[in-house]
Amino acid sequence: MDLGQLLEDSGAILRGHFLLTSGRHSEIYFEKFRILEQPHVLSALCTEIAAQYRGANIEAVAGPTTGGIIIAFEVARQLGLPSIYVESENGVKTLRRNKTLPPGQRVLVVDDVLTTGTSLLESRQAIETAGGEVVGFGVLIDRSQPGVEFGAPLYGAYKVEAQSYAPDDIPDWLAEIPVTKPGTRVASAPSR
C-alpha cells in the first residue's frame, strides 16, 4: 500500500506556510484530523506500527491526548493489548482517572506527527512516573530532524523529510507566504 498516496488522498498533507506547534515554520503540514476521521487511513498507518512492534513483548500501548489516544486504542486493538491514555493535569502529562501500572510494565508510546518529540518525551515521563517502562515509540508520521534521542526505538509508519525553520531563520520565499497556525499545542515561539 502506498501510504504517501493514501495521505494525499485523505487531505492530510497541506502545503503553504505553517507555524507548527513546536514554534517552527514549515511549507508542509500534516493535518492529523484528516487521518483520525477516516478509519481506513488510521488503521493502515497503525497496522505498520503494530507490525513493527509485534513480538517485542509490549504489554500496553499509551498515547497522549487528543489524537494519541485514538492511535493508542487502534494499535493496542491490533496487538490485542490494553491502551493507556496520557492526559494533561496542571500543565503536566500524567495518568489520570485512577489509572495505575504494574511496576515495570513494558509500554509502547504512540502519537500522531513527530516534529520535535515533546509529546513523546512528556508521555514517556508520565509512564515512567507511574512505574512503567517505555520500550518503544511509534508515530503515524515522522517529520523529525536527525538527532532527536528518545532512549528507546522509534518507528514512523510514514517518514517524510519536511524541512522546518526556526522563527529567526525563515527563508525569504517562505516568509512571503501568509502564515497559518494549525494544531492544538501552544507554540513555544512567536510567528514572524
Binding residues for 5-phospho-alpha-D-ribose 1-diphosphate: 111-119
Binding residues for orotate: 115, 143
CA torsion sign, 30 to 34 to 40 to 42?
positive
- Cell 507548527: give the residue: 20
| Angle at the Cα of 25 from the Cα atoms of 23 and 27, rounded to 5 degrees | 150
Q: Report how far residue 62's alpha carbon sits from residue 55's, in angstroms, rounded to the nearest whole number.
A: 17
- Cell 512528556: give the residue: 122
CA dihedral 166, 163, 156, 95 (to 10 degrees): 20
Binding residues: 111-119, 143
